[in-house]
Amino acid sequence: MKVVVTPEYAHRTDFIRSIPTRGRLDGTVLADNRNILTRIDIDGEKWVVKQFKCPTAFNRVVYTCFRKTKAARAYLNAERLAEMGYATAQPIAYIEQSRYGIFHTGYYICEWLPYEVLSRIDEHPQAEQSEILYSLAAFTVDMHLHGIYFYDFNVGNIMFRKDAGQWKFALIDINRMKFYRYPLIREQSVQVLKCLNLNPQQTGYFLSQYARLRGWNWKILNGAVLIKQGVNLKVRIRRLLKKILHIG
């Protein structure tokens, strides 16, 4: 078993090493589909433990010989984001379990973020939604100008909160990321933005602000994103106009 613990949590190493032997952890299960996500309390500290689903036999060999595991990538990406000044859950440790010399199961442990998930944006007043989406557009442009390519840029992996009158954002589930030395070009940006599964009106507003901040044509960007989403452009535009004009 390989265990990597950030220096700030070295005093918790024994407990961290015991996590794979504990079975179901005592805590709040946040998700239990492909992966198991559990929030636990350790002497007043709130942690999140993510147990990744055991990969296929082929992928176990790949992770053993050729590629970093999801747990390792989540940990390293969190460190890289923090170095660049972007918020994410503070990484604590990652664990890689092997059987017969072949990778089997991975765990990623991080601090719990006291943010709200973006999928709950509809619970906010309309005026606040516009503020949030404008701030998110500025945050996204800043990331893209710094070469951050987040494959899973969706409302379940973006957290937000208001701090000193400003909307702040943090990223989670970050094992699928690339860091380029140059700003993302239009095609790369479209590939990322197509994953942002807001409703049509929110998507239109977000893309209009993103395009404005990058000096791009909104109609071209919007059309490219909709095409990448595999949705008929005319139908999406018609639905968006109906929603804006409150028609039937």
Closest CA to 4 of 78, 85, 71: 71
| pLDDT number for residue 228 | 83
Alpha helices in 91-199 (DSSP H): 126-145, 186-193
Residue 150: exposure state from Cβ atoms within 10 A (0-12, 13-18, ≥19): buried
How many other CB atoms are there within 10 angstroms of residue 22's CB atom? Answer: 11
Q: Are the beta carbons of 150 and 81 closer than 8 angstroms?
A: no
| pLDDT number for residue 229 | 82
Q: Residue 72 corresponds to which tokens in the numbers above?
A: 């390792």
- State the amino acid at position 94 in one-letter form: Y
Q: How many residues does the chain have?
A: 248
Instruction: Characterize the bridge pairing of strands 28-32 and 36-42.
Output: antiparallel
Residue 237 CA: distances (Å) to CA of 47, 186, 223, 247: 43, 21, 9, 13
pLDDT in tens, the chain (248 residues): 999 999 999 999 999 999 998 877 888 898 888 899 999 999 899 999 999 999 899 988 999 999 999 999 999 999 999 999 999 999 999 999 999 999 999 999 999 999 999 999 999 999 999 999 999 999 999 999 999 999 999 999 999 999 999 999 999 999 999 999 999 999 999 999 999 999 989 999 999 999 999 999 999 998 899 888 875 555 556 656 665 665 54
Q: What is the pTM of this model?
A: 0.87
Q: Are the beta carbons of 176 and 151 closer than 8 angstroms?
A: yes
Residue 128 CA: distances (Å) to CA of 63, 120, 243: 43, 12, 18
| pLDDT number for residue 50 | 96
Closest CA to 145 of 177, 186, 100: 186
Q: Are the beta carbons of 9 and 16 closer than 8 angstroms?
A: yes
Place of tokens 């937000």: 160
| pLDDT number for residue 32 | 85
| pLDDT number for residue 20 | 92
| pLDDT number for residue 242 | 63
Q: For residues 96 and 17, what is the distance between their CA atoms, to the nearest angstrom?
A: 10
Domains observed in the chain: 2-111 (3.30.200), 116-245 (1.10.510.10)
